[in-house]
Chain A
């Protein structure tokens, strides 16, 4: 069974600093998707970044980037120039490619609470 582990329950950094959130996963699949979701105090789930396992290039979205190490099954999120609005819970999630017959299930990590201090 696939599992996702986020080993940092909580982190805090000063505004403008760079922070890296870790995520490891366990799967025997070779093709899959990985996601980072942000959940601010409003509790809304917001997609931050997505990575396809068949792509070697690390995904980047503005200040957010990932370090995807497929052999190590690691998928860390780097936030550069952190802002107060980045304060949120961050969840790592894993999904096998959807098929016509399979469950589209996401497997979630337990989350990392990130606090950006002014």
Chain B
């Protein structure tokens, strides 16, 4: 079954304690991205990756890091989390080149609370 898997799904952590949210897809997709969802703001892109070892900032990258060492994995790293990073996070993937590049697959979301 084609899927994007995120872990953990729910996490409460303390300010400053480094954490990683993992994301893995089994569709051999080239493109992966991370979004955060906050009330009244829709989804905003944090980082994206167009292929292995190719990453770039989205609209709200401050406080986050990513890596893409393998095609299937795209972890989101919060080096020193702060309460304003409390949010719902989504990982997404899609095939690279057209014509299928507009078919997007989302993970189930990760609820992160920073206290």
CB of A47 closer than 8 Å to a CB of B: yes
Chain A residue, CB-CB nearest to B32: A104
Q: Are A43 and B88 in contact (CB under 8 A)?
A: yes
Report whether over half of chain A's contact residues are helix, strand or loop; otherwise say mixed.
loop
Within 8 Å CB of A98, what residues of B? 31, 94, 96-98, 101-102
How many A-B contacts if CB must be within 8 Å?
60
Q: Are A108 and B44 in contact (CB under 8 A)?
A: yes
**Within the complex, which residue of B33, B42, B56, B111 is in contact with A111, where a contact is CB–CB below 8 Å?**
B42
- The CA of A64 and the CA of B88, in the complex, are separated in Å by 27
Q: Are B42 and A91 in contact (CB under 8 A)?
A: yes
Within 8 Å CB of A110, what residues of B? 40-42
- Chain A interfacial positions (CB closer than 8 Å to B): 4, 9, 33, 35, 42-45, 47, 50, 91, 93, 95, 97-100, 103-106, 108-111
- Chain B interfacial positions (CB closer than 8 Å to A): 31, 33, 40-45, 48, 50, 56, 58, 88, 90, 94, 96-98, 101-102, 104, 106, 108-109, 111
- The CA of A91 and the CA of B106, in the complex, are separated in Å by 14
- The CA of A62 and the CA of B57, in the complex, are separated in Å by 38
- The CA of A95 and the CA of B33, in the complex, are separated in Å by 14
Q: A105-B48, A110-B40 are in contact. List 18 more A-B contacts (CB 8 A).
A: A42-B108, A43-B88, A44-B106, A47-B104, A50-B102, A93-B42, A97-B98, A97-B101, A97-B102, A98-B97, A99-B98, A104-B31, A104-B33, A104-B48, A106-B45, A110-B42, A111-B40, A111-B42
